[in-house]
Each structure stands twice: as C-alpha cells, then as structure tokens.
C-alpha cells in the first residue's frame, strides 16, 4: 500500500475523529506495543484479539486463505464498517489486518508492529526493531520495542508508589524478571541464583530492591529468589493490587533486567537510568543482537555485581513512529 499524507479532505481531522482497531494475538508484550503506538498518536482503539481456529492456527501467515474466516466462533468480529486504521502485532494478526486493508480498497491504513512475515506491500507502514532484518521503503527501524512509557505516566506512578517504597534503603534498584523462552531458561535454580546475586548486591552497596515478575516468570523461580533476599531491604510484588511496574521504573536509581526480554529493556531505556542485564542460561539469538546494540548506545551493560552509574538520552522510539503514522493518517504532527 502506498504511504499517503495530508490532503484537503482530511487536513482538519484529529486522532479522536478516527476509528482505530488493534488486532493482536493476545500476548501482553505485543499488545502493549500496539497500545503504546496508539496512545502516542492520540487514538482510542478497539482491541480485537485474534483467536484462529483450525486449520489457520497451524499455518504460517502467508498461507492463510480467507483470513477473516479464521476467527473462532464467539471471538472478536472482523466485519464492516472497516476502521480508519488498524495497528497489528503478532503472527495471527498479520493476515487479517492485511485483508481488511484490501477489502477497504486502501481506505483503512494498516500499520504492522514487528515483521508480519507477509509481503510488505500489503501494509502502509511496518515498524521493526533494529535486530530484525526486514527493510524497505515502508519500513521504519527502531532501536528497541515500542512501549507505553511517557514522562507523564512516570510522574504519576512516582507519586503513587513513593509511599510503598519509602522504607527501603537507597539507592533503589528495580529488578524486572522475565521467564523461559526459546532462547533462555529461568527456572527455580535460576531464580535462587539471581536471588543470591541480588542479596550480595544489597549487602555490598546498601541498595534497596524492588522486584516484579512477569506473566512468563515461573512461580518456583520467584519463590526461590524471594527466599534468598533480606526482607528488610527488598520488596517483591506478589501479583496482588495495582501493578507497580511504572512506579518501580520511575523511582529506581538503577534497573536490572533479565536477558530474555526486549520489551522490558526497551521500557527501562525510556527512563535514561542505568540498565544492567542479568544473563540467563541459553543463547542470545536476536536478543543477543539487541543487547549488543544497547551496549553500543551506552544504555545497558552486563550486570557484574556492582552498581556503576552512567547516563544516556532516553529512547523515544514510540514518539518517532507515531509521527510517521500521523503523517500517513493525514494528522498534524504533535
């Protein structure tokens, strides 16, 4: 699809005038990338989770025939009237999104976050991180993953969670835990090892620790890690109450992130604070390329037991991508 800009008909449109859909495979990491982009544009999107049935569920995106028929009965409807814009991320969302663009005869602008594994010409814009290989005239490349982090959200979260963390010693270290994936492993033994390293860090530096697991974190790993920590110097989120994630990033002096997650490291990089990467058993693959790039940019370093400090310009990939999409939609730049 060709990229289009402002014209006489839409020059006075605002983002609030537009109907926007997010098509997603239901994974929180990819959904947050779509939401971050939509929020930066100023859209109020309707989220539609793609739940493919057989045989589509087992087919690569490029083999999906009649992709709008792939939805399970009772799943989100993919029917006209078509929206002004679709933002998609996740393997299952790519083919339905491209098909909506085709059926709308190009009126619906289709934005893919991450490589859709389809002909790039079927999309108005594709946004990929630098460790992905896709390139082309309608492809923009970011340093990290898109996210929902903004100075305003950090300020609000800092005010909300400051009392929660007030009794912990300083410097304050936020620890973001991922989990086992195709490249890395974080099991009970790994959790215990990280916990011992964190306890040693707190003892040597006097630091306080605030720890949050992700949905992928093995509960056994969290339990083993927690058992290793000094409760007077640490706080581990148990999943109850409001998620402290934004508050942790806003209030921390340093951030430790397990090596399995591009998203969490990218979100931490929006703070401008030192990011220390906790290595895990396994091989890096695209994650290794990402972390190498973060080192080159002066954003992240391997965690080596201490808390050296450094500074860098916070990543602002989401705002840059949003400007490109606003141009495609005929919206004024912010």
pLDDT at 281: 94
**Cβ–Cβ < 8 Å for 299, 291:** no
Question: Which CATH fold topology does 15-143+317-328 show?
Answer: Rossmann fold (3.40.50)
pLDDT at 5: 46
Domain boundaries, the chain: 15-143+317-328, 151-302
pLDDT by 10s per residue, the chain, length 334? 544 444 444 456 799 899 999 999 999 999 999 999 999 999 999 999 999 999 999 999 999 999 999 999 999 999 999 999 999 999 999 999 999 999 999 999 999 999 999 999 999 999 999 989 999 999 999 999 999 999 999 999 999 999 999 999 999 999 999 999 999 999 999 999 999 999 999 999 999 999 999 999 999 999 999 999 999 999 999 999 999 999 999 999 999 999 999 999 999 999 999 999 999 999 878 898 999 999 999 999 999 999 999 999 999 999 999 999 999 999 998 7
Question: Does the fold of domain 151-302 match that of domain 15-143+317-328?
Answer: yes
pLDDT at 266: 97
Which of 267, 257, 297, 195 has its CA nearest to residue 36?
267
Domain boundaries 151-302, corresponding CATH code: 3.40.50.2000
pLDDT at 11: 52
């Amino acid at each position: 699809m060709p990229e289009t800009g402002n014209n006489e008909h839409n020059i006075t449109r605002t983002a609030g005038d537009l109907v926007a859909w997010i098509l997603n495979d239901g994974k929180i990491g990819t959904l947050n990338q779509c939401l971050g982009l939509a929020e930066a544009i100023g859209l109020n999107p309707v989220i539609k989770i793609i739940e493919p049935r057989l045989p589509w569920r087992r087919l690569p995106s490029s083999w999906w025939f009649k992709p709008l028929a792939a939805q399970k009965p009772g799943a989100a409807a993919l029917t006209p009237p078509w929206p002004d814009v679709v933002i998609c991320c996740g393997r299952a969302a790519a083919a339905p999104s491209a098909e909506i663009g085709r059926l709308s005869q190009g009126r619906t602008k289709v934005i893919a976050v991450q490589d859709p594994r389809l002909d790039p010409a079927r999309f108005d814009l594709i946004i990929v991180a630098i460790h992905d290989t896709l390139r082309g005239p309608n492809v923009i490349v970011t340093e990290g993953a898109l996210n929902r982090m903004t100075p305003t959200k950090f300020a609000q979260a800092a005010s909300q969670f400051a009392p929660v963390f007030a009794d912990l010693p300083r410097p304050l270290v936020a620890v973001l835990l991922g989990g086992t994936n195709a490249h890395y492993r974080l099991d009970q033994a790994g959790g215990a090892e990280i916990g011992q390293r964190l306890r040693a860090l707190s003892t040597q530096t006097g630091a306080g620790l605030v720890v949050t697991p992700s949905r992928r974190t093995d509960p056994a790993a969290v339990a083993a890690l927690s058992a290793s920590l000094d409760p007077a110097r640490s706080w581990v989120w148990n999943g109850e109450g409001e998620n402290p994630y934004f508050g942790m990033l806003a209030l921390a002096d340093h951030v430790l992130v397990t090596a399995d997650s591009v998203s969490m490291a990218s979100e931490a990089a929006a703070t401008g604070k030192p990011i220390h990467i906790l290595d895990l058993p396994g091989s890096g693959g695209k994650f290794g390329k990402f972390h190498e790039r973060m080192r080159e940019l002066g954003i992240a370093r391997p965690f080596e037991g201490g808390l050296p400090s450094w500074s860098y310009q916070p990543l602002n990939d989401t705002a840059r991508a949003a400007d490109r999409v606003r141009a495609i939609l005929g919206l004024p730049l912010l």
